[in-house]
Amino acid sequence: MYVELHARSAFSFLEGASLPELLMARCAQLEMPAMALLDRNGLYGAPRFHMAALRAGTRAHIGAEIAVCDAGERACPPQWVPHRIPPEPVRWALLAETQSGYQNLCRLITRFKLREPHKAEGSARLAEVAEFSQGLICLTGGGEGPLASALARGGYNEALREVERLVHIFGPHNVFVELQRHYDRAEEHRNQAAVAIARTLNLPLLATNGVHYATACEREVLDVLTTIRHHCTLETAGRLLAPNAERYLRAPREMQQLFRDLPEAIANTAELSARLTYQMSDLGYRFPAYPVPAGETMQSFLEKRTAEGIRNRYLPKHDAKLFARAQQQAQRELTLIAKLELAGYFLIVWDIVQFCLREGILVQGRGSAANSVVCYALGITAVDPVGMDLLFERFLSEERGEWPDIDLDLPSGPQRERAIQYVYRRYGELGAAMTANVITYRGRSAAREAGKALGFDAATLDRLSKLVSAWEWKDKDDSPGRDVQIAGQDAGLDLQHPRIARYVELCQRMQDLPRHLGQHSGGMVICAGQLDAVVPIEPASMPGRSVIQWDKEDCADMKIIKVDLLGLGMMAALQECLELVPAHYGEPLDLAQLPPNDPLTYRALQQADTVGMFQVESRAQMAALPRNHPTGFYDLVVQVAIIRPGPIAGNMMNPYMKRRRGREPVTYSHPLLEPVLKRTLGIPLFQEQLIRMAMIVASFTGGEAEELRRAVGMRRSMARMKELEIKLRRGMSANHIAPAVQDEIVQSISSFALYGFPESHAASFALIAYASAYIKCHYLAAFTCALLNHQPMGFYSPATLVKDAQRHGLRVLPVDVCRSDWACTLEKLHPSECHPERSEGPQHSTNLHCRPKGFSIREPCSQSSDGCPTFDAPFAAKVGKQHAGIEGAPHLPSFGRCGTNGTRYGNRAFALRLGLCYARGLRHDAAVALLAARRLRSFTSIQDLALRVPELRKSELALLANIGALNSLGEAGGPLKPSFGLSGAIDFERAAKPPSANVGSGRTTHRRDALWQVEYAGRPAGPLLNGITSDQIVFDEAAPDELAAQESAESPLQQMTVEERLVADFSGTGVTVGKHPMAFHRAKLKQMGISTAGELARLPHGRITRIAGSVIARQRPGTAKGFVFLSLEDETGIANAILTPAVYEEFKHAVVYENFLLLEGTLQNQENVVSLKARTIRPLGISRAEVRSHNFH
Amino acid sequence: MPPPLYLCVHLSDFAAQALARAHPELRSRALAVLSGDPPLERVFAINHQARRLGLETGMSRIHAESFSAVLLRRDPRQEHAGFAELMQCAGKFSPRTECIASPQEESCGATLLLDVSGSERLLGGPQQIATALRQSLHALEYEASVAVSCNAWAALLAARGTTGAVALAPRHEAETLAPLPLSVLEPDDEMAQTLAAWGIRTLGQLAALPARPLAARLGQSGIRLQAQARGEYRHLLAPAEEPADAPLCESIELEHPVELLEPLLFLLSRMLEQITGRAAQRSLAIASIELCLLVDANPPAPRSEDRRTEDRRTIRPAIPERNHRTLLKLLQLELELHPPVAAVVGLHIQAHPARPQTAQPGLFAAQAPEPGRLEILLARLRKLVGEGRAGSPELLDNHAPEAFRVNNFELGVCDRSGIVCRVPDANPSVANGQPMSLHPAPALASGTGQRTALRSLTPVLRMMRPPCAVAIELRANVPATLDYEGQRLRLQSASGPWRTSGAWWTHPAWSREEWDVALKEQPQRCLRLAHDPAGGSWYVVGIYD
């Protein structure tokens, strides 16, 4: 029997070519009972390897190759042989024999990894290896091991001494002299010495194959990875490449044949494997205990906090029944929590939430945690699960044997970082860390790297990687290789050429191989005692962060609890609104007290006027909103959940919409399902409904139903799914449900094979969606300002957000060095510039809440007679009313798409000033220096600016001049007031101002004038002029100095044309605050028969129509059968277009690469949803402005 | 004094034009010239047909291959020859010619500036001169743009920015230049960026800027560019002169074709004597000789009336040589090694002079062979063993068998201690790029299964080039007998296989298995066998001493 005890996987990052699962699958295929994985300096692949072994019924031994810096350098070819192999520390192959050995290995890796100031390989010291040697078995290694190194260094005697040192550290029973045979003369020479040393020291021999890949053909992939690692090409790599393809996983019989002269080396593998008793099922992981006051247990403490929370949450609702039900549910949950010993987990999350509340950081739980009343009572979530009748089993069940998953949404940016740092501080450097995110080779990266290895030039690589399709949708014949093939064809490559054919093949084989380790967006792992004994920790690229070597899937497999502290851009925007609204509008804003059922807000939602709003702004959401016609909060919950792959692919959206509009009767597959599906009009939309359906119709337990959900969810297993379906049908038969109905139910459950939302999660998101919609409708300036300050986020680019805000009447001012801050800000306009305000804003509660830091909407506090939750006074609309459509809704004031009439304060009181952060290429440090200098005194001229802010480079000054940010410099009494308005001002140039007014003043008249002056001011001053202030540099017009006179004269440069300004705006800031590029060509476009986006709604269904605009979004969703969706923007709004796969293929180049398009096709105008089914597409060369499109791949 | 008159000739994509001349069949097709080392070749120059197809200079080879254009590698010889013709043609119009851009400067175009002042009586008016020169070049199958002006740089800019033959009216240069694009000034990237940001796109716009403020912003280079744009830039013509190291040429046209080497050597001896004499007059020696034999081709080259074709040879002595006999001997050996393909009807020798070696060997320095004699010896060796088989071996960074190349054996730079022979670090145990310090290897698949003890002897391997094909009989996949030197030999033991493979990304890839075998028969010998798994052939590739 032979066991392979020295193998590395692709998780040795560019030093191995097979995934751990593949290695283990091959091991099982070769009928090997066990196998060891020793990746380089880490246990990155160990969980996958372990799980694969469990599935395959084999055993996984865990170890690692550890670089030891003071044990010499690995053996290299002699100096007289030309090679580029860099010197590296020798690597010791260590195997975990026991749990303590595993823990020591984790600690050893953590120790040297964390010693590195930045993310780096690192290496251990001899003393550290000795310190953590207990429970570890040491192999003498192959060509990179200590024995080979010592032999190369000092011959046999040195090697003998080296092995003696290993014996001294690990003990004579824990050192094995390793032999590898790859049909290499030099290696065989080493083997001879190794055998002699083993005989001399009476050490056991151990045969291994030093596996680098599962099968011989993967040597090619390894060679490519080697070139990536060493930044060279296959042609120039030389001896860096493998000399042959022998490092594959050999069959036991093959190894026995290979080592038939040394049978004990083979026999010892089985013996050592038997000694390696440690399995990763026993990690020794414990979640940390929460420190509770004396006399309390964690459970009792949790119960008290829950009881308090229940009282605080439910008593104000004045609903005794609801309160009683909440208490009852809390008791049930607490019993289960006690049984599963999870009290500490809940308390720790509660602790984080408490910290956020104390610090004024918005926080809200999302996901299935919102199904728990305990979470609700602890303030972790904001949705009342009892009031909304949410299903607890979706969150936690006894049968599942899994840890619960609580995700917290925090404002992205520094606020979230503070919460993360709090966890680090609280649990220590070795007690908490982020989960990793394994970055793998995908289509584009594989195409690029494989091309580099084969020696393609940079231009070809760029072209290829751009052409590799990155759409979400894939044809059934699509494979990564086919993508590259198509890209290659488009790039003009000859696919028949052997090298190109090889390239395509390599791209395919590199897919999914790990490239490097990143950091998960927010998953934190916390451990009692020391996390470094459970999994190695290493520094992340980001300062102050550390990361474990496993990703979130690995953590779930290893049953490690993760708390997700996720950054949500919209939360950050809302947080900023909380400051902007009181500061500028003069009235407080409390997210916990937003008026529910605000007519303006719902009107905007019904009209799909939702650009910038959370979760309801996408093209698909906009298309569904008029049909859904939301009138209450629950409609919004449905709206958030319905545009998901699950409901769309399951064809649930259309039936729901028809029923919603009363065009189809509400029916149920079976009367038993009515209570479950009533709220969603008989259509299952949420995961909880699936679980409940299984529980009701087939008498599944909560755990079984959850298992069914998971089986049809993301990680489905066909075999298990079949078993569960049989069980489901058996249960339904027992409940006397007819076979036809059974089919229908099974069909609707199977529709969840694609991703769907849990109801609780949708409710949490709907809260944020409502808040964002409300703030946009009432405080547009603040909302837009906050959105622009937290880009990138959402569906649209800043340019589109600005244009949308402008169409709603908001004035947006350009970047201006005299006025702009680093971030975007609000400026109150002079009364003369303001249009008369409307005072008849919506009457809503201004009642302040004493809990401003938490984030929740005013909760539903009662339940209607039909079992659905209703909301207290402001949330008066009951579900029944909601379902009745607009009839039950109050009369709503008009809120036009392009108007501002309904906004409370009239947005024209405020203008939004773009911040310096929008000047692309301006460094933050330079901007800070500029702001500091400006605070002291206004800048009088560009010369003054350049002298007082030496941090500004000439290129930055030129950038600012190019985008018009210097236009107001030198204006007496402050910056010039720009000429606003959507109609007149092309730009904020002072074209109207006579140039003579600026002569001698150092003022600028237009952008080119500023550029002219920048070139003068930004030139390097000689030693004589260094330190001279602007006051000392005065051009005296009276002086007969010609240069001074000429400098004082107007700029000889011509003003930028409109097109030049547009190009400068988009390249310099990504946005333009002037007219939309399309507006400048409207007359001509009209002659061409092109309709504006605003006109489309008035055109009849079925008319052949032409539309044109800048492409702002391209989508090819996975669920849309190859259809492509384009969003085109013009000065009147956004028009949507649908492209069939055939049309896309025909006009692919224009669709993918052109910024401005003209589309002709049939207009589809039904139920207030307007789109164009395109027939022909052509580029519209009206501007060279680089309008950015948000492409969803 | 009459005003000066300058003429500029500009040939864009000269590299492509020169190649097209050498390949007349390609003149009507799109042609792109590539430069750079494979696989990183880029388009260096294109003709106008290729430009119409969408090709651009700077494209990669792979990209260029996607167009239906002929791709040829750059041919410096053709370019230099073509440029010489160009110079010759220009010389007919003026002896004062400055070379602005040429193939020597790695430029894809060629530009000459001629001082034609005072030649109006001889050649006609400015327009006539320009037209005449353009027609002369056209006769040589070159497309050129020619401009004449009283200002040298104005002529240059006009030639770059226009096509055909243009004469700029005196004192109106600026008007003619005004509409030309800024790119004809060839400003550096930073300057081009600044001017683009200012909206300056033509020479006229640049010329119109106020001078002193412009100088305050762009410095001297700004002033220069503006003066150029205004046609006011004073360019001091620097006529090309023959440099001290200009090649020395001798030519002979023979009345009758010569087929034998001896009379040819007689002629060569005379020519070499002349050349070495002229070199000696300049205190120089000969660094290299290019011999061009005009041979009587039969049949004549296509589309050519001339039956003669060129057969070129180059000789580079290890050190610059003054002795014409040594040079003659080298030429003799070269011609013996590669005889002319047909009877010789003309000889042309171009010799490149260089400073002679002056260092004196040190008193105690090791005796080195006399360089001239050494060179002759090496030439003899090459003649004996073949080209590329004599010299200094250099190992390559490669796992491939025989991964080495033979470089020319060169004498090192002289220092105070005398002539140092630069020989690569030669390890006596290395002959094929692999370490030969082979301790007796264990028999991986040993016939006897007996493991030999560790010894410290270092065997030496003699490689056999070419390897000797043999027949092998295998037992249990291990060589057992060997048919070698007409005998069937039994093998006592066999170690191996030692496997190497590589270049899998090329076609064909290589792979090899090697065995070290010991013969049973007396005298006992150890051999290295190689096996090509793809072809199935066996070879003896070396013998262990």
* HEC secondary structure over B299-336: CCCCCCCCCEEEEEEEECCCCCECCHHHHHHHHHHHHH
Closest chain B residue to A494 measured between Cα atoms?
B66
Would you place residue B382 in the very low, low, confident or very high pLDDT band (cuts 50, 70, 90)?
A: confident
pLDDT at A480: 53
Structure tokens at B98: 């400055």
pLDDT at A482: 61
**B499–A183 C-beta distance less than 8 A:** yes
Chain B CB contacts of A190 below 8 Å: none
Q: Read off the pLDDT of residues A1094-1153 as tens digits, 9 standing for 90 and up.
A: 999 899 999 999 999 999 998 887 767 788 999 999 999 999 999 998 998 888 878 888
Mutate to test the interface with B, among A76, A79, A189, A1060 (most CBs of B within 10 A): A189
Q: Give the DSSP letter of residue A1100.
A: P
Chain B CB contacts of A261 below 8 Å: 442-444, 446, 449, 451
Overall average pLDDT of the A623-647 stretch: 87
β-pairing, B285-296 vs B308-315, is antiparallel
A195 compared with B1, residue with greater pLDDT: A195
Q: Read off the pLDDT of residues B150-174 as tens digits, 9 standing for 90 and up.
A: 999 999 999 999 888 999 988 888 9
Which amino acid does the sequence have at A13?
A: F
pLDDT at A776: 93
Q: Does position A96 have pLDDT exceeding 90, yes or no? A: yes
Would you place residue A267 in the very low, low, confident or very high pLDDT band (cuts 50, 70, 90)?
A: very high
Would you place residue A23 in the very low, low, confident or very high pLDDT band (cuts 50, 70, 90)?
A: very high
Chain A CB contacts of B71 below 8 Å: none
Give the C-alpha separation, A107 to A532, whole Å: 5
pLDDT at A1086: 92
Q: Does position A571 have pLDDT exceeding 80, yes or no? A: yes
**B398–A1016 C-beta distance less than 8 A:** no
pLDDT at A755: 65
The answer to which of A565-574, A969-978, B398-407, B532-541 has the lowest mean pLDDT is A969-978
Give the C-alpha separation, B315 to B287, whole Å: 9
Structure tokens at A1026: 């260094």
DSSP string, A278-310: --TT-----PPPPP--TT--HHHHHHHHHHHHH
pLDDT at A493: 63
Helix (H, G, I), strand (E, B) or coil at A661: coil
Chain B CB contacts of A196 below 8 Å: 454
CB A1193 within 8 Å of CB A470: yes
pLDDT at B450: 38
The CA-based diameter of chain A, rounded to the nearest angstrom, is 108
pLDDT at B365: 64
Mutate to test the interface with A, among B44, B62, B66 (most CBs of A within 10 A): B62
Secondary element (H or E) of residue A620: helix A619-628
- Which alpha helices (DSSP H) does A341-396 contain, by range? 343-359, 373-377
Which A positions 1055-1074 lie with beta carbon below 8 A of chain B? Answer: 1056, 1060
The answer to which of A272-281, B316-325, B473-482 has the lowest mean pLDDT is B316-325
Which A positions 749-808 lie with beta carbon below 8 A of chain B? Answer: none
pLDDT at B121: 81
pLDDT at B431: 36
β-pairing, B31-35 vs B165-167, is unpaired
Calculate how close chain B gets to A22, using CA atoms only, in Å: 23
Structure tokens at A1110: 């800048």
Burial class of A254 by CB neighbour count within 10 A (0 to 12, 13 to 18, 19+): middle
Calculate how close chain B gets to A252, using CA atoms only, in Å: 17
Calculate how close chain A gets to B416, using CA atoms only, in Å: 28
pLDDT at B296: 79
pLDDT at A318: 83
Q: Read off the pLDDT of residues A490-522 as tens digits, 9 standing for 90 and up.
A: 655 666 677 777 888 888 888 889 998 888 877
Q: Read off the pLDDT of residues A806-843 as tens digits, 9 standing for 90 and up.
A: 998 899 999 999 999 999 999 887 766 655 433 333 33
Overall average pLDDT of the A405-428 stretch: 88
Would you place residue B348 in the very low, low, confident or very high pLDDT band (cuts 50, 70, 90)?
A: confident
Which A positions 421-480 lie with beta carbon below 8 A of chain B? Answer: 454-457, 459-460, 463
The answer to which of A772-776, A812-816, A886-890, B258-262 has the lowest mean pLDDT is A886-890
Name which of B62, B427, B442 is nearest A80 (Cβ-Cβ).
B427
Overall average pLDDT of the A1089-1093 stretch: 93
Secondary element (H or E) of residue A1136: strand A1133-1139
Residues in chain B: 545
Helix (H, G, I), strand (E, B) or coil at A816: coil
Q: What is the mean pLDDT of chain A?
A: 82
Which A positions 237-266 lie with beta carbon below 8 A of chain B? Answer: 238-239, 241, 243-246, 258, 261
Give the C-alpha separation, A645 to A662, whole Å: 24
Chain A CB contacts of B223 below 8 Å: none
Q: Give the DSSP letter of residue A213.
A: B
Overall average pLDDT of the B175-192 stretch: 91
pLDDT at A163: 95
Chain A CB contacts of B435 below 8 Å: 77-78, 81, 185-186
Total-model pTM: 0.74
Q: What is the mean pLDDT of chain B?
A: 81
The answer to which of A86-90, A450-454, A993-997, B96-100 has the lowest mean pLDDT is A993-997
Burial class of A44 by CB neighbour count within 10 A (0 to 12, 13 to 18, 19+): buried
Q: Give the DSSP letter of residue A388.
A: T
Give the C-alpha separation, B346 to A233, whole Å: 48
Neighbours of A58 (CB within 10 A): 18
Calculate how close chain B gets to A731, using CA atoms only, in Å: 59
Interface pTM (ipTM) of the complex?
Answer: 0.70
Q: Read off the pLDDT of residues A311-342 as tens digits, 9 standing for 90 and up.
A: 988 888 888 889 999 999 999 999 998 988 88
Q: Does position A1025 have pLDDT exceeding 50, yes or no? A: yes
Would you place residue A981 in the very low, low, confident or very high pLDDT band (cuts 50, 70, 90)?
A: very low
Neighbours of B409 (CB within 10 A): 18
Name which of A80, A182, A192 is nearest B454 (Cβ-Cβ).
A192
Chain B CB contacts of A243 below 8 Å: 399, 500-502
pLDDT at A195: 95
pLDDT at B406: 85
Overall average pLDDT of the A993-1001 stretch: 44
Give the whole-number percent of chain A exceeding pLDDT 90.
43
B429 compared with A475, residue with greater pLDDT: A475
Give the whole-number percent of chain B exceeding pLDDT 70.
84
Chain A CB contacts of B39 below 8 Å: 235, 454-456
pLDDT at A750: 74
Q: Does position B212 have pLDDT exceeding 60, yes or no? A: yes
**B425–A80 C-beta distance less than 8 A:** yes
A160 compared with B281, residue with greater pLDDT: A160
Reading phi first (left if > 0) and then psi (alpha if -120 to 50, else beta), residue A1091 is in: beta
Q: Read off the pLDDT of residues B34-71 as tens digits, 9 standing for 90 and up.
A: 887 665 678 888 888 888 877 888 877 766 776 778 88
Give the C-alpha separation, A84 to B137, whole Å: 52
Structure tokens at A636: 């919004």
B372 — phi, psi (to 5°)? Answer: -60, -40
CB A287 within 8 Å of CB A106: no
Q: Read off the pLDDT of residues A700-734 as tens digits, 9 standing for 90 and up.
A: 887 778 777 777 765 445 666 777 788 888 888 88
Give the C-alpha separation, A1192 to A618, whole Å: 11
Helix (H, G, I), strand (E, B) or coil at A818: coil
Helix (H, G, I), strand (E, B) or coil at A703: helix
Reading phi first (left if > 0) and then psi (alpha if -120 to 50, else beta), residue B455 is in: beta
CB B296 within 8 Å of CB B271: no
Name which of B198, B433, B442 is nearest A1008 (Cβ-Cβ).
B198
Would you place residue A855 in the very low, low, confident or very high pLDDT band (cuts 50, 70, 90)?
A: very low
Reading phi first (left if > 0) and then psi (alpha if -120 to 50, else beta), residue A135 is in: left
pLDDT at A292: 87
Q: Is A1016 on the interface with B (CB under 8 A)?
A: yes
Calculate how close chain A gets to B333, using CA atoms only, in Å: 34
Give the whole-number percent of chain A exceeding pLDDT 70.
83
pLDDT at B360: 65
Q: Give the DSSP letter of residue A531.
A: G
Q: Does position B391 have pLDDT exceeding 50, yes or no? A: yes
Would you place residue A488 in the very low, low, confident or very high pLDDT band (cuts 50, 70, 90)?
A: low
pLDDT at B239: 84
A168 compared with B103, residue with greater pLDDT: A168
List, in sequence order, every beta strand (DSSP E) within B272-411: 285-296, 308-315, 344-354, 392-395, 404-407, 410-411
